[in-house]
A and B are shown apart, each in its own frame.
Chain A
Amino acid sequence: MNPVTTNLLEIRDLSVVFRTSRGDVEAVRSASLSVAAGATVALVGQSGSGKSTLTSALNRLLAGNGRVTQGSVTFAGTDLLALSERQMSGIRGRQIGLVPQDPMSNLNPLLSVGRQISEVFTIHRVAGRTEARRRAIELLDMVGIPDAARRYGQYPHELSGGMRQRVLIAIGLACRPRLLIADEPTSALDVTVQKKILDELSSLTASMGTAVIMVTHDLALAAERADHVVVMNRGAIVESGPAAEVLKSPQDEYTRRLIAAAPSLTTKSLVSGPTEKDSAPLVEAAALTRDYPTRSGILGRAGTFRAVDKVSFRIPRGRTVGIVGESGSGKSTTARMILRLEDASAGDIYFRKDDVTRLSGRKLKSFRRQVQPVFQNPYAALDSRQTIGEAIREPLDVHEVGTPAQRGERVTLLLEQVALDPSYASRYPHELSGGQRQRVAIARALALEPELVVLDEAVSALDVLVQAQILELLVDLQARLGLSYLFISHDLAVVRMICHQIHVMKSGQVVESGTPEQIFENPQHEYTKTLLAAIPTGRP
Chain B
Amino acid sequence: MLRYTLKRLAIMPLLLWGIVTIAFFLSHSISSNPLASIVGTRNLGNADVVAAATQRWGLDKSLLQQYFIYIGNLLHGDLGTSFRTKEPVASDLSSRLPATLELALFALIIAVVLGIVLGVVAARNNGRLLDGALRTVALVGSSTPVFWVALLLLFVFYARLGIAAGPGRLSSRVDPPPHFTGMYTVDSLLVGNFPLFSDALSHLILPSIVMALPLLGTVIRMVRAQVLEEQSSDFVRTARAKGMTPSQVTNRHVVKNAITPVITVVGISVGMLIMGAVMVETIFTWNGIGTYAVEASRSLDFPAITGVCLVGGVIFLVSNLVTDIAYAIIDPRVRL
Q: Is the CB of B252 within 8 A of A100?
A: no
Q: Is the CB of B242 within 8 A of A92?
A: yes
Q: How far is the CA of A286 from the CA of B333 in the complex (A)?
A: 37
Q: How far is the CA of A109 from the CA of B256 in the complex (A)?
A: 10
| Cross-chain contact of A110 among B234, B244, B248, B256 (Cβ < 8 A) | B256
Q: Closest Cβ of chain A: how far from B58's Cβ, in Å?
A: 47
A110-147 contacts to B (CB < 8 Å):
110-111, 119-120, 123-124
State whether the Cβ of A430 lies closer than 8 Å to any Cβ in chain B: no
Chain A residue contacts of B333, Cβ below 8 A = 109, 155, 157
B228-282 contacts to A (CB < 8 Å):
232-235, 237-246, 248, 252-253, 256-257, 260
State whether the Cβ of B332 lies closer than 8 Å to any Cβ in chain A: yes
Chain B residue contacts of A85, Cβ below 8 A = 245-246
State whether the Cβ of B331 lies closer than 8 Å to any Cβ in chain A: yes
Q: Is the CB of B253 within 8 A of A111?
A: yes
The size of the chain B interface, using a CB distance under 8 A, is: 25
State whether the Cβ of A91 lies closer than 8 Å to any Cβ in chain B: yes
User: A61 with B330: in contact, given A89-B245, A109-B257, A123-B244 (CB under 8 Å)?
Assistant: no
Main secondary structure of the interface of B (DSSP, over half): helix
Minimum CB distance partner of A102 in chain B: B234
State whether the Cβ of A1 lies closer than 8 Å to any Cβ in chain B: no
Q: Closest Cβ of chain B: how far from A55's Cβ, in Å?
A: 10
State whether the Cβ of B160 lies closer than 8 Å to any Cβ in chain A: no
User: A107 with B235: in contact, given A155-B332, A155-B333, A298-B3 (CB under 8 Å)?
Assistant: yes
Minimum CB distance partner of B253 in chain A: A108
Q: Is the CB of A92 within 8 A of B241?
A: yes
Chain B residue contacts of A89, Cβ below 8 A = 243-245
Q: How far is the CA of A53 from the CA of B238 in the complex (A)?
A: 15
Q: Closest Cβ of chain A: how far from B305's Cβ, in Å?
A: 41
Q: How far is the CA of A97 from the CA of B242 in the complex (A)?
A: 7
Q: Is the CB of B238 within 8 A of A119?
A: no
| Cross-chain contact of B239 among A91, A97, A108, A155 (Cβ < 8 A) | A108
Chain B residue contacts of A93, Cβ below 8 A = 241-244
User: A110 with B243: in contact, given A102-B234, A157-B333, A171-B238 (CB under 8 Å)?
Assistant: no
Q: How far is the CA of A123 from the CA of B244 in the complex (A)?
A: 7
Chain A residue contacts of B233, Cβ below 8 A = 105
Minimum CB distance partner of A104 in chain B: B234
Q: Closest Cβ of chain A: how far from B152's Cβ, in Å?
A: 39
Chain B residue contacts of A172, Cβ below 8 A = 241
Minimum CB distance partner of A90 in chain B: B243
Q: Which of B235, B248, B253 has the most CB of A within 10 A?
A: B235
A167-213 contacts to B (CB < 8 Å):
168, 171-172, 174
Q: Closest Cβ of chain A: how far from B325's Cβ, in Å?
A: 16
State whether the Cβ of A98 lies closer than 8 Å to any Cβ in chain B: yes
Q: Which of B252, B260, B330 has the most CB of A within 10 A?
A: B252
Q: Is the CB of B237 within 8 A of A100?
A: yes
Chain A residue contacts of B242, Cβ below 8 A = 92-93, 119-120, 123, 171, 174
Q: How far is the CA of A471 from the CA of B260 in the complex (A)?
A: 44
Q: Closest Cβ of chain A: how far from B238's Cβ, in Å?
A: 5
Q: Closest Cβ of chain B: how far from A143's Cβ, in Å?
A: 16
State whether the Cβ of A301 lies closer than 8 Å to any Cβ in chain B: no
Q: Is the CB of A110 within 8 A of B330?
A: yes
Q: Closest Cβ of chain B: how far from A415's Cβ, in Å?
A: 34
Q: Closest Cβ of chain A: how far from B251's Cβ, in Å?
A: 12
Q: How far is the CA of A172 from the CA of B233 in the complex (A)?
A: 18
Chain A residue contacts of B240, Cβ below 8 A = 61, 92
Q: Is the CB of B257 within 8 A of A110?
A: yes
State whether the Cβ of A86 lies closer than 8 Å to any Cβ in chain B: yes
State whether the Cβ of A59 lies closer than 8 Å to any Cβ in chain B: yes
Q: How far is the CA of A172 from the CA of B242 in the complex (A)?
A: 7
Chain B residue contacts of A171, Cβ below 8 A = 238, 242
Q: Is the CB of A106 within 8 A of B238?
A: yes
State whether the Cβ of A94 lies closer than 8 Å to any Cβ in chain B: yes
Q: Is the CB of A110 within 8 A of B332?
A: yes
Q: Closest Cβ of chain A: how far from B335's Cβ, in Å?
A: 10
Chain A residue contacts of B260, Cβ below 8 A = 110
User: A61 with B237: in contact, given A110-B256, A110-B330, A111-B253 (CB under 8 Å)?
Assistant: yes
Chain A residue contacts of B237, Cβ below 8 A = 61, 100, 106
4 tightest A-B CB contacts, nearest first: A93-B243, A98-B241, A93-B242, A105-B234
Query: What are 10 residue pairs bridging A and B, where the CB atoms are less than 8 Å apart in the complex?
Result: A86-B245, A92-B243, A100-B234, A107-B235, A107-B238, A109-B331, A111-B253, A119-B244, A120-B242, A171-B242
